[in-house]
Structure 1
Amino acid sequence: MDQLSSHQLRSLRLDALARDHQVVSDLNEGITNGPDALVKELMDVHGWPAHEALDAVHRLQEKALQGTADQAAA
């Protein structure tokens, strides 16, 4: 059997925690659905082409992850 990466293990732990705790489940769902909702908003309401909306959200996610990594390193 292949070994799971630490990222995969943390993801599995979060899924298990979300099954037992509604608050964690709600937060996890909000984070999971957030990028899709933003892409939909940019396309449907603001008229952005799909590729531009996806690229913008992807860059926003990268920026947020970098900010989190910077905080963790500090």
Structure 2
Amino acid sequence: MEHPNAHQLRSLRLDALARDHRVVSDLNDGIANGPDALVMELMDNHGWPAHEALDAVQRLQEKALRGTSQQTAA
């Protein structure tokens, strides 16, 4: 049996916490559904091609993660 890595363990911890705490669950759902909703908004209401919408959202997520990492390091 293969042991989970640190990333998988953190994900499992978050899932467990979300089951017990409504606020964590709502935030987790918002984060999980947010990128999809933004891609659909760009495509359906603004006429962006799928590959451009996906790329823009991916870059936005990377920028947000860099900002969070920099804040944590400071």
TM-score using structure 2 length: 0.95
Match in the other structure for 2:22? 22
How far 1:14 sits from its partner (Å)?
0.5
Match in the other structure for 2:64? 64
- Residue 39 of structure 2 corresponds to residue 39 of structure 1: yes
| Dislocated runs of 4+, deviation >3 Å | none
Provide structure 2 residue ranges, at least 5 long, that are not aligned to the other structure. Answer: none
Task: Give distance in 2, aligned partners of 1:65 and 1:16.
Answer: 23
TM-score using structure 1 length: 0.95
Q: Which amino acid aligns with 2:53?
A: A
Task: Give distance in 1, aligned partners of 2:3 and 2:22.
Answer: 30
Provide structure 1 residue ranges, at least 5 long, that are not aligned to the other structure. Answer: none
